Chains A and B, each alone.
Chain A
Amino acid sequence: MSVKRQALYLDILEKHKGIVFKVARSYCSNEFDREDLVQEILAQIWRSLETYNDAFKVTTWMYRVALNVAISFYRKDKSAAYKHAEMEDRLLTYDMVQESENEQSLSALYAFINELNDIDKAVLLMYLEGESQAEIAANLNVTISNVSTKISRIKQKLKQKTA
């Protein structure tokens, strides 16, 4: 295990662990599945570091890895829930109290994201992060017009939801 890789891994995660949390919460409403997904993403980030290219913006690289894992993530059988039910330790601990004032609106926001299909979730997450349509298109490898249509459709859904 290279010391440099290990240091880079910890550094990236310390600075951008929020990305892992946001992707996992957007893709899994069930907390046991979410814990599995967090594990999968963190393991994949470690593996992908072998081929990490620093020409990339680290957040873009991390989003790509996290979204690819989340989109291809297959929910395991429910017996996994029992395993985690006994496990008190979590990889990412989130202090809900600190965000309690926003928690209700945040839950509504995540509930809306959860209703979208996995690709639309990816589009919305990158959009919310402030990525341009061209960057979103490049991260998915689809056309910009495709991204634009997806964003319009998400806007419509949001309008219907809040109407």
Chain B
Amino acid sequence: MNLDQMQSMWHAHSDKLDECMSLNKTLLQKIQSDSQKSELNKLIWARAIEGLLFLVIVAGLWHYVVSYWSLTAPVVSAVVLNVFAIVGLAGSIGQIVLLSKIDFSQPVRETLSGLIAVRAHNMTIFKLLLISVPFYMAYVFLGYDLVFGIDLFSLMPVETKVIFAVISVGFGMLAALLINQLKPENRSNKLIGWLYREVSGSRLTHLLDQFDNMEKA
């Protein structure tokens, strides 16, 4: 069989299908009434809740910064963490915009790109967390001040500060190395492939595979 024979068989099949097939209109009505429960709509709600959480964190941290304004470690920590929370908030808003723009009647490349951007959200949040790893002491300084009312940084001996600074630099280098490798094209690497599956889920890897198939000429 060649493609031309296949094509004529396909046309005969298509003509016959209209006679052979019937549509269940009762089930169809159920689908229409359930259409708002689509997965993308659920994702919009999830991102809205996530955005609201980030907004609460941003507002809380700003309130802390304004209330205790001075050049102390906890206040600087709150400013640093605020920057990450604002980036997170912007990410959630961007996702909602992106989700509402996905159009399944667009060419396959556009739809796939949109879906990939949506499914890569967890990976983006993971990268944001990785970037914040070198600033891990910011959580500790802020936490100590909030819970115990102690400015831990001012009580630390210089040697301890140096040790923590070196650890932060080390974490920073590791995080930069990992973020640099966390690209879809590096999924053949065992660690990167595993992280993609675990963090973003198999749906993203499935979409990325289809995108690669489309690019292959």
Residues of A whose CB lies within 8 Å of any CB of B are 1, 6, 9-10, 13-14, 17-18, 21-22, 39, 42-44, 46-48, 51-53, 56, 61, 64-65, 67-69, 71-72, 74, 89-96, 98-99, 102, 105-106, 108-109, 117-120, 122, 127-130, 138-143, 145-146, 149-151, 154-155, 158-159, 162
15 further interface pairs, Cβ-Cβ under 8 Å (given A44-B38, A117-B213, A141-B108): A14-B23, A18-B14, A21-B17, A22-B14, A43-B31, A68-B104, A71-B111, A71-B210, A92-B23, A93-B24, A118-B213, A119-B213, A138-B107, A140-B107, A141-B110
The answer on a CB contact under 8 Å between B17 and A142 is no
What string of 1s and 0s marks CB contacts (under 8 Å) between B152-174 and chain A?
A: 00000000000000000000000
Q: Which residues of A contact B217 (CB under 8 A)?
A: 143, 145-146, 149-150
Among the stretches B4-12, B47-55, B82-90, the one at the interface with A is B4-12
Within 8 Å by CB of B111, from A1, A13, A61, A72, lies A72
Q: Which residues of A contact B105 (CB under 8 A)?
A: 48, 51-53, 56, 61, 64-65, 68
Minimum CB distance partner of A96 in chain B: B20
Q: How far is the CA of A115 from the CA of B203 in the complex (A)?
A: 20
Instruction: Let me know if B21 is at the binding interface, CB within 8 A.
Output: yes
Instruction: Let me know if B2 is at the binding interface, CB within 8 A.
Output: yes
Looking at the assembled complex, report how far the CB atom of A94 sits from the nearest CB atom of chain B, in whole angstroms: 5
The answer on a CB contact under 8 Å between A141 and B7 is no
Q: How far is the CA of A68 from the CA of B105 in the complex (A)?
A: 8
Instruction: Let me know if B202 is at the binding interface, CB within 8 A.
Output: yes
The answer on a CB contact under 8 Å between A43 and B35 is yes
The answer on a CB contact under 8 Å between B107 and A44 is no
The answer on a CB contact under 8 Å between B27 and A91 is yes
The answer on a CB contact under 8 Å between A98 and B34 is no
The answer on a CB contact under 8 Å between A18 and B32 is no
Q: How far is the CA of A95 from the CA of B17 in the complex (A)?
A: 9
Question: Could you pull out 12 A-B pairs where Cβ atoms are within 8 angstroms?
Answer: A39-B31, A44-B38, A46-B32, A74-B202, A74-B206, A92-B22, A92-B23, A98-B16, A120-B213, A140-B214, A150-B217, A158-B3
Q: How far is the CA of A105 from the CA of B13 in the complex (A)?
A: 10
Looking at the assembled complex, report how far the CB atom of A69 sits from the nearest CB atom of chain B, in whole angstroms: 6
Q: Which residues of B contact A47 (CB under 8 A)?
A: 35, 38, 104
Q: Which residues of A contact B202 (CB under 8 A)?
A: 74
Known: A43-B38, A95-B21. A139 touches B210 (CB 8 A): no
Looking at the assembled complex, report how far the CB atom of A53 sits from the nearest CB atom of chain B, in whole angstroms: 8
Instruction: Let me know if B63 is at the binding interface, CB within 8 A.
Output: no
Among A1, A46, A68, max chain B CB count under 10 A is at A68
The answer on a CB contact under 8 Å between B24 and A140 is no
Q: Which residues of B contact A141 (CB under 8 A)?
A: 107-110
Looking at the assembled complex, report how far the CB atom of A137 sits from the nearest CB atom of chain B, in whole angstroms: 9
What string of 1s and 0s marks CB contacts (under 8 Å) between B106-144 and chain A?
A: 111111100100000000000000000000000000000
- Across chains A and B, which 5 residue pairs bring their CB atoms closest together, nearest first? A141-B107, A18-B17, A141-B109, A128-B10, A119-B213
Q: Which residues of A contact B7 (CB under 8 A)?
A: 127-128, 130
Within 8 Å by CB of B3, from A68, A127, A142, lies A127
The answer on a CB contact under 8 Å between B18 and A18 is yes
Among B18, B21, B105, B203, max chain A CB count under 10 A is at B105
The answer on a CB contact under 8 Å between A9 and B32 is yes
